[in-house]
Structure 1
Amino acid sequence: MNTHSQLEAAEKALTFTFAKIDTKVKKNLQRVLQAFRDHKVGAHHFAGVSGYGHDDLGRQVLDRVFAQVMGAEAAAVRVQFVSGTHAIASTLYGVLRPGDEMLAVAGPPYDTLEEVIGVRGQGQGSLKEFGIHYRQLELTKAGTINWQMLGKAVQPQTRLVFIQRSCGYDWRPSLSIDDIARIVESVKQQNPNTVCCIDNCYGEFVEDREPTMVGADLIAGSLIKNPGGTIATAGGYIAGKADLVEQAACRLTSPGIGLAGGATLDQTRLMLQGLFLAPQMVGEAMKGNHLTAHVFSALGYPVNPSPDAPRRDVIQGIQLGSAEKLVAFCRAIQQYSPIGAYLDPAPATMPGYKSHLVMAGGTFIDGSTSELSADGPLREPYVAFCQGGTHWTHVAIALEAAIAAVGPA
């Protein structure tokens, strides 16, 4: 069967799956529209405020809309967050104090948080340097939460439990909302004062609930991933309990300013429009992930998640088995990207990461993984992590080239 026929067969097999995704998109979009309606969003909210950003009505309504969509008491949606890692770091520095303990319960965190915590790098103001202790629970051999260990892991000094929703660069199942609800319940039974903080990157709108709807105290993420809908040009967000959001905002700005400052630099319309588009964009990315898994599984490659597994984020892993195939795969995706199709991705170092990376990122917003991208660290077992996709048909076109580039396993 040729490449085109393989894709057509996969598309036909996924008809029912695609319809189920559309149903979920509709439910999430209804929630977004309700928040826009409840807070009377109008064109006057698009006007930006310069300088300190005091009394920015657009920023204030954006925060309230975002909080309602996420089922949270408060939110801080800011262009001043340079990445999801920055937003997450602000929550950690905002909540934790010297002598506190941070406990990661889903194995090691994403690479870019290692230097924030202090398990790698030269300090430069890491949590470790400020006297904050770190501990992590390893996953089971199957890559799942060690529920038995979790049930007795929280100590009196455990101020914050950190939960990474997505698999990141690990070959493990990403966490479902039900998983997160169970973790939160276990933590609160052991110590109700422990803050449950979620790295929500790549997971927004994949399910019809968010972690803050099932008891999480804080969530944080990037606007150039799911919730920006490929329209937001920069930024990140924090949402959750009002006092904790304010503490995190004081790390972004300063104590005494917190949520009250931060000019939106005429980006409010794009952030609001991106939030409106986000459920649809996430739905298209999920369809592209199912298609990718279906095709490459049929070619004999291990994939994570499996073709028919429920989606928990917008990342699809393909275990290619060699550096050559990983580079070839990313180059094929780049050639069918709208921006920089003439470029050949090459492995290189990247700030915050411990391994060389190869990355296909021909996106309109630099680093926007809600648009179609593919990347992976140059280390065994050489996994390509496909992310995003504004429409699944673009993913299908790019996959034709990727299949031709790497061939069967």
Structure 2
Amino acid sequence: MFNEQVLALMEKAEKVVGERMNEIDRLIDRNQWKVIRAFQKFKVSDYHFAGSTGYGYNDRGREVLDLVYADVFGAEAALVRPHFVSGTHTIGTALFGVLRPGDELLSITGRPYDTLHKVIGKPGDGLGSLQDWGIGYGEVELLEDGSPNYEEIARRITPRTRVIGIQRSRGYSWRASFTVEQIGEMVRFVKEIKPDVIVFVDNCYGEFTELNEPTEVGADLIAGSLIKNPGGGLAPTGGYIAGKREYVELASYRLTAPGIGGEVGAMLGTTRALFQGLYLAPHTVGQAVKGSVFAAALFAELGFTTHPRWNDPRTDLIQAIRFTGPEHLIAFVQGIQQAAAVDAHVVPEPWDMPGYEHPVIMAAGTFIQGGSLELSADAPIREPYIAYMQGGLTYSHCKLGVLTAIQNMIDRKLL
């Protein structure tokens, strides 16, 4: 399957990262225990897994799922639903829930992820975006070292600023993802300037990569996708919002309708998978983090620049690898696809994907369509040609994907 060069690289990388893997195992234990304690606290039983139809009135499984999520995330309340179609939808619901015409959203971690650009929109765009509804938007670029520009943030906060936006993950940018500790520092800074400001964190890719979550260091509202970390690879769809009770309630009115909120919503047979996915999430996230560490060590050995490096602290799943041209990038992504258990025969090519500003190539041989807790990789075809690898339900699959990608690049005489 692999030539001797690739196997030698594998053995060398695994020796280098040995102690780092032990640290990740200890993280998995702590987060797994935290989730199980939440299940026990709310006496989760098999009758909670029953489905509901119609309005979904008195769906005790749905209600307990919200309570468990809130407890795990150290929040007052949570809204966990299969009705969220994506992370972007979930984030949009949270923002529209708490913002009103005349308010301002200020992103203090630079330009958000590409798919949110249309949610923010432009004044009068007719799409129903935030700015189309008269909600102002501003952003503060990060400093060259990737840290927040606190001086500029202080200058940009005005009486109109209702929500401060923080993106935990790097998105399609060459910067470090923010740790929970760093997010806590941002929260304290902006609250000193404007105590009533709502701090919202896009938590996608970050759940269970650390011992704590942003809601435990002062964030008022967080949101994420269930086909990423907290779904554990089993959630078939959905998203979650967690935080202060009043803000979660406002978001629930945006998801359904004012006066209805989270009191209704048939779960349509998804409840068991959402519970079990959360139960598995600390383990599967740990497997994916191990895969990212392995990939970083291996590509560093080959002379490529990786971010984060294999021994850097991690606060999300994403492993960025900078290539020297589009040929390397495309060969890498296609190699990840070749290692998939599902659709390994499919050859991904760059295409104009809805919500993105550049052609994107995406390896996504997954059981859940677009499930990025599963081994996947994607990249916009633009300089400086960075591939973003994430996920892997098992460390073994992560290794297979990385090694296949390298072998693919060797076979094409790119290495």
Identity of aligned residues (%): 49
Higher mean alpha-carbon deviation, 207-216 vs 139-148, is at 139-148
Cross-structure match for 1:297: 300
Aligned twin of 1:56: 59
Q: What SS does the corresponding residue of 2:156 show, helix, strand or coil? A: coil
Q: Which amino acid in 2 is paired with 1:25?
A: I
Residue 11 (structure 2) aligns with? 8
Q: CA–CA distance in 2 between the matches of 1:282 and 1:361?
A: 17
Per the TM alignment, residue 246 of structure 1 is displaced from its structure 2 partner at its CA by: 0.6
Q: Distance in 2 between matches of 1:206 and 1:108?
A: 23
* 1:142 shift after superposition: 2.0
Contact 1:162 1:197 in 2 (8 A): yes
Deviation at 1:149, TM superposition (A): 2.2
Tell me the TM-score normalized by structure 2: 0.97
The CA deviation string for residues 105-148 of structure 1, in whole angstroms up to 9 with x for no partner, is 00000000000001599441001110000000001112221133
Q: 1:352-401 CA deviation, whole Å, 9 max, x = no partner?
A: 11111000000000000000001100111111100001111111112122
* Partner residue in 2 for 1:233: 236
2:144 matched residue in structure 1? 141
Following superposition, the deviation at residue 227 of structure 1 comes to: 0.1
**How many angstroms does 1:197 deviate by?**
0.3
Q: Please say if residues 150 and 186 of structure 1, whose CA atoms lie closer than 8 Å, have aligned partners that are also in contact.
A: no
Q: CA 1:201 to 1:394, structure 2 compared with 1: closer, same or farther past 3 Å?
A: same
Query: Is 1:402–2:376 an aligned residue pair?
Result: no
Per the alignment, residue 329 of structure 2 pairs with 326
Match of 1:370 in 2: 373
Q: Tell me, in whole angstroms, the C-alpha distance in 2 between the residues paired with 1:54 and 1:39.
A: 20
Query: 1:293·1:316 contact (CA, 8 Å) conserved in 2?
Result: yes
Instruction: Give me the whole-angstrom Cα distance separating, in 2, the residues matched to 1:137 and 1:7.
Output: 41
Q: Which amino acid aligns with 2:171?
A: G
Other-structure match for 1:67: 70
Determine if the alignment matches structure 1 residue 80 to structure 2 residue 83. yes
Aligned equivalents of 1:351, 1:67: Cα separation in 2:
32
Contact 1:114 1:120 in 2 (8 A): no
Residues 305-336 of structure 1 deviation map (CA, whole Å, 9 limit, x = unaligned): 01210111000000112112111111111111
Structure 1: state its 5+ residue gaps: none
From the superposition, tell whether residues 3 and 85 of structure 1 become closer, same or farther in structure 2 (CA, over 3 Å).
Answer: same
- Over the aligned positions, Cα root-mean-square deviation in angstroms equals 1.3
Aligned partners of 2:123 and 2:134 also within 8 Å: no
How do 1:3-402 and structure 2 match up within 5 A? 3-119=6-122, 122-402=125-405
Partner of 2:298: helix, strand, or coil?
helix
User: 1: distance between equivalents of 2:142 and 2:124?
Assistant: 24
| SS of the residue 2:332 aligns to | helix
Q: Distance in 2 between matches of 1:57 and 1:115?
A: 36
Cα deviation digits, residues 179-204 of structure 1 (max 9, x gap)? 10000000110111100000000000
Deviations 1:202-222 (Å, cap 9, x if unpaired)?
000000000000000000000
Amino acid at match of 1:316: Q
Residues 44-88 of structure 1: CA deviation (Å, up to 9, x unaligned): 001111011111000000000000000000000000000011010
- Confirm or deny: 8 A CA contact 1:115 1:121 kept in the other structure: no
The CA distance in 1 between the partners of 2:62 and 2:107, in whole Å, is 32
Unpaired runs of 5+ residues, structure 2, are: none
